[in-house]
Amino acid sequence: MSQALLKIKNLKTSFRIKDDYYAAVDDVSLTVNKNEVLAIVGESGCGKSALAFSIMGLHNRAKIEGNILFKGKDLANASPTEWSKIRGKEMGMIFQDPLTALNPLMIIGDQIGEAIYLHNKNISKEQRKLKVIDLLEKVGIPHPERVYDQFPHELSGGMRQRVVIATAIANQPELLIADEPTTALDVTIQSQILDLMKQLKEDMDAGIIMITHDLGVVAEMADRVAVMYAGQIVEIADVYTLFENPQHPYTRSLLNSVPNNKEASSKLHVIQGIVPSLQFLPRKGCRFSARIPWIDVSAHEENPQLHEIEPGHFVRCSCYKHFHFPEEEVQ
Amino acid sequence: MSILKVKDLKVHFPIKGGIFGRTVDYVKAVDGVSFSIEKGMTYGLVGESGSGKTTTGRAIIGLNKITSGNVLFEGKDITSYRRAKADYYKDVQMIFQDPYSSLNPRKRVLDIVAEPLRNFEKLSRQEEKKRVQELLELVGLSPESILKYPHQFSGGQRQRIGIARAIALKPKLIIADEPVSALDVSVQAQVLNFMQDIQKELDLTYLFISHDLGVIRHMCNRIGIMYKGRYVEEGTTEDIFNNPQHIYTKRLVAAIPDIDPNKRKEHAKFRQEVQREYEQSFNDYFDENGLAYDLQSISDTHLVALPKKG
């Protein structure tokens, strides 16, 4: 087996609320290999962005425990100087909203050029410009010479996101983290951006962590999928298994609540209750149990662990064995 | 009889320029849109950002000034009859996209939901409170929440407060502008189910504006596709999804990600084919300004913007 590009072991990211620390990411372990897309799916507040920010070292007040092994080196408590060498060079990040991710007062060429300059100060200005134009061309921007001198507001949303991607891949990173890269975009633009990311993954042999709440995007892009709920991974499997044979109650509920090809009059599945807030999260027991109250309490584990039910397919808590939707007959 | 009829609606925004701030040009946000909605139906208005779908919705309810064209509600022209408007504002309500910014954070739920009641109906405090509690119960919130503030609710709950406000005056038509795009899938399901329930209960008609074709397909009976302020295709949900005729619609339908990962390759190939066709035949489907032609009917229910023959 090839060596994993990124290996996260028991990562716990906690934020301080009043005098206590509360874990937004709780005991997450996962690996990302080269040339692989790992999708992290979950609703807002499940900790998926907190996880991405931890991997990139972008939290400045959080308490981070556990290990983040990037190419064998532990980054969990790396110093800011160490981080600035890695960030933008070996790891790139694509943000959700291209308008806020770009500086409105800087021309496109300088923004991408800055990313190159920070990690390679010997490169001449002329060379840098050539490289930026090359990058713009690579992400499919027409007339890169003209766009080089333009400001972000002069570009459309799709073009801006391409610029953000160009900045992220400026130094040929080995790991790309994309936080909802297409949420702010129209469907036709979304499909273009996804195709572009697939292409870049192949070209650079990079690993991608894709954070999204859109299951269509997951089905389209991912090789493996991790489903997060309330700070924990509840299920992890390759994409085909996850869509064909989902096990965890949360994954099954989520897949059932997407409107898709069903009759217009049919009801969508609704997950009862709400995502518990960080402070009032039950730290013991199955965190999803409150939202499936029709399942007997004895079906849940005291301290739910991830079980490998088939090679590469992990499910947390044993309640999946007894789970059924309320409208289904109990066997 | 159709409850709402829009005839050749145009909304143009002036572009001011020069030192005297004179109008130099117009942005034609909506340029010649006609459609009608039958009572009890859900009509979907689809398009990408900037296509004019929201402007159309806002113009119908009176939030944007109509440049030309007519809006007929129950046969009455509300664009010219000023006096008809008081009733109109009561009968047509709107649900907004973002439940975080469409509720005043400094008002209690009671005041938010009672505002339309205070404008149109003279109720005593007690009656008003009772009505608001009934409305909250109808949208699945506890009657005790009338004294809470919007920040004490989750996104889905807030959107339901927005819906409670919209149905307070028992409207006939609700314009829902991207009502679920700011919500998570499970919450989205909740709001969509709920909208279908109250539609039956209160005999509502919806104009459902969205860019999410999955949601549109789930909710709507009839769909209109907009591009650059003009219609490119209109038809039943069947027509649009199973038999799209205009290249723009085909491209839009092809761009929806398939939820089955096994069909990924197949789907990507299909999408590329459509994209190629789109690039090659763009000039056949759009005029020299890149705008859609006028609609021509190709069946009883299906209209497509194609150039006139000959």
Contact A202, A35 (CB under 8 A): yes
Do residue B136 and residue B212 come from a single domain?
Answer: yes
Which residue, A159, A127, A167, is CA-closest to A140? A159
Which of the listed residues B228, B250, B280 is the one where a domain comes to its end? Answer: B228
| pLDDT over 90, % of chain B | 42
Do residue B274 and residue B237 come from a single domain?
Answer: yes
Q: Tokens 């497509």 belong to which residue?
A: B304
Query: Quick check: B119 pLDDT over 50?
Result: yes
Q: Which helix (H) or strand (E) holds A315?
A: strand A313-316
For residue B213, the chain A residue with the least C-alpha distance is A187
Do residue B136 and residue B194 come from a single domain?
Answer: yes
Range of the domain at B257: 230-310
Distance (Å, rounded) from C-alpha A122 to C-alpha A145? Answer: 23
Q: Which of B155, B218, B257 sits opposite A220 (nearest CB)?
A: B257
Cβ <8 Å between B185 and A188: no
Q: How many domains does one find in chain B?
A: 2
Tens-place pLDDT, residues B120-171: 888 899 999 999 998 888 888 888 889 999 988 877 788 889 999 998 988 9
Cα dihedral sign for B237, B243, B248, B251? positive
Rounded to a whole number of angstroms, the distance from the CA of A275 to the nearest CA of chain B is 9
For residue B32, being part of any structural domain is answered with: no
Cβ <8 Å between B156 and A274: yes
The average confidence (pLDDT) of chain B is: 88
With an 8 Å Cβ cutoff, the interface of chain A facing chain B consists of 43-44, 157, 186-191, 194-195, 213-217, 219-220, 222, 239-240, 243, 253-254, 257-262, 264-265, 267-271, 274-275
Do residue B216 and residue B238 come from a single domain?
Answer: no
Which of the listed residues B228, B262, B280 is the one where a domain comes to its end? Answer: B228
Domains defined for chain A, CATH in brackets = 6-90+171-322 (3.40.50.300)
Tokens of A63: 């308490």
Cβ <8 Å between B257 and A260: no
Q: Report the first-to-last Cα separation within chain B, whole angstroms.
A: 35
Do residue B177 and residue B241 come from a single domain?
Answer: no
pLDDT at res. B80: 72
Q: Which of A254, A262, A275 sits opposite B185 (nearest CB)?
A: A254
Do residue B90 and residue B185 come from a single domain?
Answer: yes
Query: Quick check: B310 pLDDT over 70?
Result: no
Q: How many CB atoms lie within 10 A of CB B128?
A: 17
Which residue, B173, B206, B163, is CA-closest to B90? B173
The mean per-residue pLDDT over the stretch B232-250 comes to 93
Contact A57, A34 (CB under 8 A): no
| pLDDT over 70, % of chain B | 98
Do residue B43 and residue B116 come from a single domain?
Answer: yes
Distance (Å, rounded) from C-alpha A48 to C-alpha A32? Answer: 15
Which of the listed residues B211, B228, B245 is the one where a domain comes to its end? Answer: B228
Do residue B177 and residue B252 come from a single domain?
Answer: no
Q: Which helix (H) or strand (E) holds A30?
A: strand A20-32
Distance (Å, rounded) from C-alpha B291 to C-alpha B144? Answer: 53
Distance (Å, rounded) from C-alpha B130 to C-alpha B146? Answer: 10
For residue B11, being part of any structural domain is answered with: no
Rounded to a whole number of angstroms, the distance from the CA of A148 to the nearest CA of chain B is 25
Do residue B43 and residue B172 come from a single domain?
Answer: yes
Stretches in chain A below the pLDDT threshold 50: 1, 331
Residue B227: strand, helix, or coil: strand
Which residue, B297, B282, B286, B247, is CA-closest to B35? B297
Query: Quick check: B257 pLDDT over 90?
Result: no
For residue B22, being part of any structural domain is answered with: no
Do residue B224 and residue B114 come from a single domain?
Answer: yes
Q: Tokens 């005041």 belong to which residue?
A: B111
The mean per-residue pLDDT over the stretch B171-175 comes to 94
For residue B149, being part of any structural domain is answered with: yes
Do residue B208 and residue B122 come from a single domain?
Answer: yes
Distance (Å, rounded) from C-alpha B185 to C-alpha A262? Answer: 16
For residue B291, being part of any structural domain is answered with: yes
Q: Which of A219, A262, A270 sits opposite B258 (nearest CB)?
A: A219
Do residue B181 and residue B198 come from a single domain?
Answer: yes
What ipTM score was computed for the predicted complex, to two decimals?
0.79
Tokens of A241: 């298994």
pLDDT at res. B304: 92
Amino acid code (one letter) for B292: A
CATH assignment of the domain containing B111: 3.40.50.300
What are the C-alpha distances in Å from B310 to residues B21, B65, B307? 44, 37, 9
Q: How many CB atoms lie within 10 A of CB B232?
A: 29
Chain B residues touching A254 at Cβ < 8 A: 185-186
Q: Tokens 């400045």 belong to which residue?
A: A60
Rounded to a whole number of angstroms, the distance from the CA of B236 to the nearest CA of chain A is 12
For residue B7, being part of any structural domain is answered with: no
For residue B73, being part of any structural domain is answered with: no
Tens-place pLDDT, residues B28-77: 899 999 999 999 999 999 988 888 898 999 999 888 888 999 999 888 88
The mean per-residue pLDDT over the stretch B248-269 comes to 87
The mean per-residue pLDDT over the stretch B211-218 comes to 89
For residue B18, being part of any structural domain is answered with: no
Q: For B16, phi and psi rounded to 5 degrees? A: -90, 140
Runs of H (alpha helix) within B181-246: 185-202, 213-219, 237-242
Ranges of beta strands (E only) in chain B are: 2-17, 22-38, 42-46, 68-73, 76-77, 92-95, 173-177, 205-210, 222-227, 230-236, 295-297, 303-305
